[in-house]
Copies of this chain bind each other. A is one copy, B any other.
Amino acid sequence: MKVKTDIRLGDCREVLKTLPDNVVDLIFTSPPYTDQRKNTYGGIHPDKYVEWFLPVSTELLRVLKPTGTFVLNIKEKVVEGERSTYVLELILEMKKQGWLWTEEFIWYKKNCYPGKWPNRFRDSWERLLQFNKGKKFNMYQEEVMVPMGDWAKSRLKKLSDTDKKRDESKVGSGFGKNISNWLNRDRVYPTNVLCLATECNNKNHSAAFPEGLPEWFLKLFTQSGDTVLDPFMGSGTTNFVAQRMNRNSIGIEILPEYYNMVKAELEPVKLVLFE
């Protein structure tokens, strides 16, 4: 099977307008947080964040299929000792746009940033907000079942690695079906808390989230041949995972630097496929 990975350079508020209606099965993205990545993106002020994001979510609502899902990875910053409220306000405003706020998953980061302060502890979780266009959407729950029992708990850390290896062996060997059937016996449905470590130092560039994160949602909300969109592509994690999992994907990135890097890494893969 051949999948298309469509990488585009530009501001997603403009580029999204060139996409047709109802073509995307899953949007998975992590937009720049407020005043974060100041040197790369503009560094949006907390007070302006909702206003800045709403034009994007309007377009996302348009390009998403009625059965599709939008997963938004975000976390509010601390400003003067207080949590900002722009994420809460964003949810309320997106509902006014027509989005349904179906669920809030928690990404529990075991290795969060260190530090000690007199008035708070380290922040070790982020939000994964699930939005939908309607009450009926595609969800393939069996794809993300996890091993159960104490055995699984003690090996919680290796979970994502195991999943990765399983995928690789599935693609490589062709015995995927048998393997997954056999594994299904001891497996149980997961909850809405995801336990994943951040990847600090994998390559020469650091991704905002580990591959396991988009991987999980791609399994859950898409099938082979479906189309995935990341309007804030960054280092392209979502798109690389999509390609590996045989999903078409679209990635939009405003910075030429990131765009070129992702472009360069995608080419070799294509070459291998054509050989």
- Which A positions have Cβ atoms within 8 angstroms of B? 80-83, 85, 88-89, 91-92, 95, 100-104, 106, 108, 110, 112, 116, 118-125, 135, 137, 139, 141, 150, 153-154, 156-157, 189-193
Contact = CB atoms under 8 A, between A and B. Distances in A.
A137 B119 contact: yes
Contact of A120 (B85, B101, B157, B192): B192
10 contacts: A82-B101, A85-B92, A85-B95, A106-B125, A118-B139, A119-B135, A120-B192, A121-B191, A122-B189, A154-B157
Copies of this protein chain in the complex = 2
B83 A92 contact: no
Contacts of A106: 106, 108, 125, 193
Contacts of A124: 191-193
Contacts of A153: 153-154, 156
Given A116-B141, A116-B189, A101 B85 contact: yes
A248 B90 CA distance: 41
A191 B104 contact: no
Given A108-B106, A120-B103, A141-B121, A88 B82 contact: no
Nearest to A89: B92
A82 B191 CA distance: 17
